[in-house]
Amino acid sequence: MPRLLLVSNRLPVTVKAEKDHVSVVRSPGGLATGLSRPHERSGGVWIGWPGDVSRLSAAQRTQVESQLSALRCVPLYLSASEVSRFYEGYSNRVLWPLCHYLLDRIPRQDRDWEAYAKVNERFAELAASHYQPGDTIWVHDYQLMLVPGLLRKRLPEARIGYFHHIPFPSSEIFRTLPHREDLLRGLLGADLVGFHTPSYAHHFSSSLLRLLGLETDLDNVTYEGRTVRVGGFPMGIDAEAFEKVSQEPGVLEELRVLKERSAGQRLLVGIDRLDYTKGIPRRMLALQRVLERQPALRGRLRLIQVAVPSRTQVEDYAAYRDKVDELVGRINGMYGTVHNVPIHYLYRSFNEKQLAGLYRAADVMLVTPVRDGMNLVAKEFCACRPDEDGVLILSEFAGAASELRDALIVNPYDVEAMADAIEEALRMPVDTRRRRMRTLRAQVKSRDVHWWVGSFLDTLQGMPTPSIRKGSV
């Protein structure tokens, strides 16, 4: 395996400061989890932001740096203004809603483009300074769309891959963005541009054609004398590791306790970052509809909803939190009893073992985002069910729906249809559940994160070597 130079906005670990103790903890999101193993194996470095370190003393900073360096992580510190303009601003107030088809959430005036471009320059500069000939550079996600182009200028012969972890929208949506051409040209600095599904790759190619007049021929596009390949590479999870955790004695004990305390109840589970793309309100309304339609289920059906705090400084996230809080209160107020409530809502991070316990306890797992690049929670749920039971309800707008066809696929905008799916899942005979879960698990296990990394890197490394490329230009 060649040395990998990974570049992503967030490092796989984030600094956590508590009073006089400082440590690094695993970052949220699939990107951090998915790439940890290839990073360990390749012996390269990972460049990214370790989170807010502004309140650390000099001694604590040194402590953090030595912990990061032991993990071969190179920190790129963001100033307070960069956090607010590059991370919260352009990345999460403009690109995030745009790629999730939520144009109404984009501020009318975008003032953060310069900060985005500047921080992308900083990432490219730092990555180039760590580059050694023969390295493969792998840039990740929408926060760094200009980095491949900026690296290409500095390192014309380098092998560069880019992976987009969120949806790439239809060209009709993408073209609304004032800086659309710059972003497309930024991505074209890579040799290989990867997406979770063929349809995102197709949307990207349509944008290249409509906005830059570039034609894609059999997944290849010629740009500035180079061939750039575009393709779908559905990301997987470390299925074996999840399955192992789900069988640990501590997890099984937790499961036993949970089941005992929920005796006579059916459990629905939702696990998401608290993000407005995740479709949590409509999911709760679907539960409300089920309770309205079926009085017999009142007191016997419970949703455990984990909402992991995320991007809390961005107004839309705070407003979304209020909306979810209010809905939980309303539904619990309506259908709760002195003994129990229909929604058990937990606003905090959970570790892997706690999550595995919940996955195992779920009669029905609800993954109903209004739009989602892939959604690895759906895959984690299947990996954690060696008992081959449990039903997955999955949004048709999650990338995972193009692979996990044995889930109950729903339109997350259709509350009635989601209520129908919950009822169907609760009624589903055990042999049907097992048959479906077996197929889902086989899928998740065969296309795991190692398969994903391998297929992306094999394609990238199978492209003409830099010297051949140089000769042919």
Q: Give the number of other Cβ atoms within 10 Å of residue 464's Cβ.
A: 14
Site for ligand G6P contains 254 (CB under 6 A): no
Strand ranges inside 396-435, DSSP E: 408-410
The answer to whether 205 and 194 have CB atoms below 8 angstroms apart is no
What are the structure tokens assigned to 203, written together?
A: 């949307």
Closer by beta carbon to ligand G6P, 29 or else 281: 29
Closer by beta carbon to ligand G6P, 361 or else 376: 376
Site for ligand G6P contains 433 (CB under 6 A): no
Residue 228 dihedral angles phi and psi, to the nearest 5°: -115, 130
Nearest to 82 by CA among 62, 41, 53, 39: 53
Q: Give me the helix-helix angle, 352-361 and 249-261, nearest 10°.
A: 50
Among 4, 83, 158, 166, binds ligand G6P (CB under 6 A): 166
Among 17, 26, 29, 130, binds ligand G6P (CB under 6 A): 29
Site for ligand G6P contains 30 (CB under 6 A): yes
Stretch that binds ligand G6P, among 23-31, 221-229, 343-351, 438-446 (CB under 6 A): 23-31
* DSSP code of residue 27: P
Helix (H) or strand (E) holding 220: strand 220-223
Site for ligand G6P contains 379 (CB under 6 A): no
Catalytic residue among 275, 372, 406, 448: 372
Stretch that binds ligand G6P, among 25-33, 70-78, 174-182, 455-463 (CB under 6 A): 25-33
Catalytic residue among 165, 275, 406, 448: 165
Give the whole-angstrom CA distance, residue 276 versus residue 100. 10
- Sheet of 343-347: strands edge to edge? 343-347, 301-308, 266-273, 364-367, 391-395, 408-410
User: What's the closest the beta carbon of residue 252 comes to ligand G6P, in angstroms?
Assistant: 29
When CB distances to ligand G6P are compared, the closest residue is: 29
Nearest to 146 by CA among 183, 190, 118, 93: 183
Helix (H) or strand (E) holding 12: none
Site for ligand G6P contains 31 (CB under 6 A): yes
Q: Determine how β-strand 192-195 pairs with β-strand 21-26.
A: unpaired
Closer by beta carbon to ligand G6P, 166 or else 362: 166
Among 2, 28, 231, 329, binds ligand G6P (CB under 6 A): 28
User: What's the closest the beta carbon of residue 92 comes to ligand G6P, in angstroms?
Assistant: 6
Active site residue 372: yes
Total site size for ligand G6P, rule CB under 6 A: 10
Site for ligand G6P contains 378 (CB under 6 A): no
Active site residue 275: no
Q: Which residues are CB-contacts of 380 (< 8 A; sequence separation ≥ 6)? A: 237, 242, 355, 359
> Binding string to ligand G6P for residues 290 to 329, with x set by CB under 6 A, is what?
--------------------xx------------------
Angle at 143 (CA atoms; ends 138, 147), nearest 5 degrees: 50
Site for ligand G6P contains 100 (CB under 6 A): no
Task: Name the site residues for ligand G6P (rule: CB under 6 A).
Answer: 10, 28-31, 141, 165-166, 310-311
> Hey, which residues are catalytic here?
165, 372
